Structure 1
Amino acid sequence: MNVFDHLFDTSKHLEKDFLLGSKETVSFEKIYSESLKIASYLKATVDQNQHITLISPNSAFFITTYLGILKSGNICVPLNFAIEQGNLDYILNTTESATVFISKPLKRKLKFNTNIHLIDEDESLEIIANQAIVDIDLDFDSNRVAEIIFTSGSTGEPKGVMISHQNIIANTDAIISYLKLTSNDVMCVVLPFFYCYGLSLLHTHLKVGGSLVLNNSFIFLGSIINDLKNHKCTGFAGVPSHFQILLKKSKTFKTEVFPNLRYVTQAGGKLHTVFIDEFTEAFPTKEFYVMYGQTEATARLSYLPPEYIKTKTSSIGKAIPNVELKIVNSNGETVTIDEEGELLARGENVMLGYFKDVETTNQVIKNGWLHTGDLAKIDKDGFIYLVARKKEIIKVGGKRVSPKEIEDVILAIPEVEDCIITGFDDELLGEAILATVVLNNTENKEHMTDKILKECSKHLSLYKIPQKIVFDKTIQLSATGKKRIK
């Protein structure tokens, strides 16, 4: 089955609105029919199995284009709308993409070869107005590639993760199951759709007949609070920085009442325990789902049920439905309780492989198991705890240090608003530890340096104490909300 037909199986003729909000309100029926027109146009003009690029912020234009590409039997390549020209050129050349759907502001900003057909919102509306819907083969191999999501590669070149129609179907159904989503759910979306976490919100709410409120202005915290209240949102999904910013920078968020908010989800990295505690204390009746996943697994691999948020706070939980997880040591043997090893995953949501990169695919998928590159351990109750990503581990004098452990200590200091731990070259130690710290309303950096070092010495071994502490006004975020050093 084509994933388009799976997602619209029961929702295609709903008269209710799928998109809610002041900027765009669009019904299920309109999304369905306009996506079919885009699919029909592509079937007539480019046939199928072609790579079609999509560059746009979250919008009805993105959604109808994305769904139309999937339905047409072509392969969607959704790209970060903040993409650098060099990466864009690389991806267009690698995928041989000759058709690009692009929002008008980005069309003016980015450069394209003259042989590439650019379709903006205006041309898309013309297609929708004039295109007749044609029959598209329903006898469809669900193991065909549906989309390629590019992630940053270790060599500097982006890696294309090939996701099949079946991958999306399997992951969508599993997420709906454990979040208990229904047609009554309304999700406030701040995550971009070019990111697998953002796409999972689109997929799940289409499937159950729920609704989305698109908010592309997270820096305006008042707009988030207003959307949650005005549109009676039942769900909010974010990466760690979203929760940190709401808790630290909004003066009113923790005192607000959100009567319709049923649950929140957090993935895209570890949210430090201090922030989970702060959120759950402010909103004790809201369900807090800690989740873990990778683009290579379509989106999701594990979740921590809300009832364990107090007793297993730093755990990523257990496998989602129809996924197997195990932790193995360097010999490939399953670890014992509290023993560190690499986390492996198996299920229908695991990618087909990396685009045009068989060698790396074979390094990451072995005997049907996805090697996540994450170090983890398991407790006596079967709950999994991430220790660190292999590539994030800092080796100080041969000893392995997880940045997250040090960040936990520093972020617990009241004057600290944000912190990121990285390594730097050191002749004696090989690597040494650098703490980049954002302070909250204090200018006495010398005093704060002493306080940070004292707190670290109380809770950490000597080799884990930062050798350098620098202060900055902010820590830069990527378009998906993940932290990075400038």
Structure 2
Amino acid sequence: MRFWELEETNAVAISTVDGIYTYQQLYQKVNHICLHSTKKELVLLLCENTIEIIAAYLAALQSNHAVMLVSADANKELLENIVKQYQPKWIIGNISFEGYRKSELFAMRESDIEISIHPDLAVLLSTSGTTGSQKFVRLSYENIQSNAESISEYLKLDADERAVMNLPLSYSYGLSIVNSHLQVGATVLLTDESIMAKSFWDFVKKHQATSIAGVPFTYQMLQRIGFMKMDLPYLKTMTQAGGRLSEKLVRTFGEYAHANDKRFYVMYGQTEASPRMSYIPPENILEKAGSIGITIPGGELSIADETGELIYKGANVMMGYAECMEDLAKGDECGNVLYTGDTAEVDGDGYFTITGRMKRFIKLFGLRINLDDVEKKLEAHFQVALACTGNDDKLIVAVESYEHVESIKTSIEELYKLHKSAFKIVVIEAIPRFTNGKTDYRSLKEAVL
């Protein structure tokens, strides 16, 4: 049975601050959303962590439509460009768009446009979360279902689980929490509260959460707020993905988990893999703290001989990318094989360790940031020489003058929805360059980090 094919039971499916919803009640909410059409359509979902958005997501899948998930907090100009580029039949969210007629549940396109969508296409996820990209990962029904099954298998999920989900639904990690827990008939504790808020922990305790998930920043904050001293007897599982967590913190939380009869999973994935590819089993978390673990059930990892690139093979590998409406008609272009863009090595026990990145991107708060894309946007806007570097802790923008520093800060906050602690503008005398005029990023990184 696939996770979106709900059984009408009295078990709790979704708990929010506002209410508790059984699988039967969720089923009724899904059925209330009428996405009727004689052909396959595109549904744009402006995601918030609400029962209504979860129901709309499931309704789109049940109706065999393709559903595009974008954060409701995304830049308005970006959203308008996405609507213009992809022409969805329905838009579900609280924002109005030209050419769409709004009703109680959604807005529907007024004009009748012939759009061809591949029958296998189920979900479209942005390649960069809320960071301003119109490029989407095309995921099939098999992609998302196989990964939901694999995750529920290695995490040993069952119907008694009550998982906190405060990550964005438009982010592949957050979506996978929902998918894998619905797969086993478990409960999703849905909230958009920050772990820094007292109300978040009140919610966790009230519903006796059994698991919590987070990106590296989450675990940095958990350590600061005294998480390890909290009385959380029902919390049995912690998972981490969305970028590299320092080996020191992996060991810190691994030791905490071992001492308190809990399980701590460090996982590796990409949106292109629906999104999970590997994990460290909790019993080996201390021994293998610097690795990304072993391959998930049903998958296969290998390393290219010539380049050292990590290659993944599995049923969860995307169909390909979409950059315009016409791309929605494309079939599988990957053949279940994903070239990750990461370089890696493997030990005798089959545990893989990332050694670097072949392309220039970093992960901040679980969101992938393309450094070249940031540079291009900022240079075009300010018409000044600048260069971007950084790591999974901070984005660094180097400029040669103080003139635009404050304006660049504002632009980064608006375009990329990043907190000011996640980036830094550095003024340097001259951006290091090679004789051919290209930026010397290695020297830049050494100078500013």
Q: Which category describes the TM-score, using the shorter chain as reference length?
A: 0.7 to 0.9
1:346 pairs with 2:337: no
Partner of 2:100: 116
C-alpha distance in 1 between matches for 2:209 and 2:21: 17
Q: Is the 8 A contact 1:343 1:375 kept in 2?
A: yes
- Higher normalized contact order (CA 8 Å, seq sep 6+, divided by chain length): 2
Q: CA deviation at 1:6?
A: 1.4
Partner of 1:94: 85
Q: Is the 8 A contact 2:243 2:392 kept in 1?
A: no
Q: 1:13 aligns with which of 8, 20, 30?
A: 8
Partner of 1:61: 52
C-alpha distance in 2 between matches for 1:304 and 1:124: 42
Partner of 2:432: 426
Q: CA deviation at 1:168?
A: 1.1
User: For residue 46 of structure 2, what is the amino acid of its counterpart?
Assistant: I
Secondary structure of residue in 2 paired with 1:42: coil
C-alpha distance in 2 between matches for 1:317 and 1:178: 12
Q: Is the 8 A contact 2:72 2:93 kept in 1?
A: no
Q: Is the 8 A contact 1:376 1:388 kept in 2?
A: yes
User: For residue 359 of structure 2, what is the amino acid of its counterpart?
Assistant: K
C-alpha distance in 2 between matches for 1:64 and 1:302: 29
Any residues of structure 2 matched to 1:74-473 within 5 Å, and which?
74-103=65-94, 107=95, 112-113=97-98, 115-119=99-103, 123-124=104-105, 144-152=120-128, 157-218=133-194, 220-248=196-224, 250=225, 252-283=226-257, 284=259, 285-330=261-306, 341-356=308-323, 368-392=336-360, 403=391, 425-427=431-433, 430-432=440-442, 466-468=446-448
Could you report, residue by residue, the CA deviation over 1:381-413 in whole angstroms, capped at 9, with x for unpaired residues?
21000122222489xxxxxx9946999xxxxxx
Q: Per the alignment, do residues 152 and 20 of structure 1 end up closer, same or farther by CA in structure 2, a change over 3 Å counting?
A: closer
Q: Is the 8 A contact 1:167 1:349 kept in 2?
A: yes
Structure 1: runs of 5 or more not aligned: 126-140, 332-340, 395-400, 408-417, 436-465, 470-486
Could you report, residue by residue, the CA deviation over 1:412-471 in whole angstroms, capped at 9, with x for unpaired residues?
xxxxxx887999941478225678xxxxxxxxxxxxxxxxxxxxxxxxxxxxxx4236xx
Q: CA deviation at 1:330?
A: 3.1
Q: CA deviation at 1:309?
A: 0.7
C-alpha distance in 2 between matches for 1:26 and 1:235: 19
C-alpha distance in 2 between matches for 1:215 and 1:229: 13
Q: Is the 8 A contact 1:374 1:390 kept in 2?
A: yes
Q: Is the 8 A contact 2:265 2:281 kept in 1?
A: yes
Could you report, residue by residue, the CA deviation over 1:267-310 in whole angstroms, capped at 9, with x for unpaired residues?
01011112222223344321110111111111111111011111
Q: Per the alignment, do residues 152 and 205 of structure 1 end up closer, same or farther by CA in structure 2, a change over 3 Å counting?
A: closer
User: For residue 15 of structure 2, what is the amino acid of its counterpart?
Assistant: L
Structure 2: runs of 5 or more not aligned: 107-116, 363-388, 396-420
Secondary structure of residue in 1 paired with 2:84: helix
1:34 pairs with 2:29: yes
Secondary structure of residue in 2 paired with 1:187: strand
Partner of 1:475: none
Q: CA deviation at 1:230?
A: 2.0
Q: Is the 8 A contact 1:24 1:60 kept in 2?
A: no
C-alpha distance in 1 between matches for 2:424 and 2:290: 18
Q: Per the alignment, do residues 264 and 209 of structure 1 end up closer, same or farther by CA in structure 2, a change over 3 Å counting?
A: same
C-alpha distance in 2 between matches for 1:419 and 1:42: 40
Q: Is the 8 A contact 1:392 1:402 kept in 2?
A: no
Q: Is the 8 A contact 2:165 2:188 kept in 1?
A: yes
C-alpha distance in 1 between matches for 2:335 and 2:24: 43
Q: Is the 8 A contact 1:186 1:232 kept in 2?
A: yes
Q: CA deviation at 1:22?
A: 2.8
Q: Per the alignment, do residues 142 and 84 of structure 1 end up closer, same or farther by CA in structure 2, a change over 3 Å counting?
A: closer
User: For residue 376 of structure 1, what is the amino acid of its counterpart?
Assistant: A
* Higher Cα Rg, which structure: 1
Secondary structure of residue in 1 paired with 2:29: helix
Q: Is the 8 A contact 1:148 1:160 kept in 2?
A: yes
Could you report, residue by residue, the CA deviation over 1:100-127 in whole angstroms, capped at 9, with x for unpaired residues?
1103xxx2xxx521x22345xxx139xx
Q: Identity over aligned residues, as a percent?
A: 30
Q: CA deviation at 1:48?
A: 3.4
User: For residue 259 of structure 1, what is the amino acid of its counterpart?
Assistant: P
Could you report, residue by residue, the CA deviation over 1:71-107 in whole angstroms, capped at 9, with x for unpaired residues?
112111110122112321222122211321103xxx2
Q: Per the alignment, do residues 185 and 257 of structure 1 end up closer, same or farther by CA in structure 2, a change over 3 Å counting?
A: same
Q: CA deviation at 1:47?
A: 3.4
Secondary structure of residue in 1 paired with 2:35: helix
User: For residue 371 of structure 1, what is the amino acid of its counterpart?
Assistant: Y
The number of residue pairs the alignment matches comes to 376
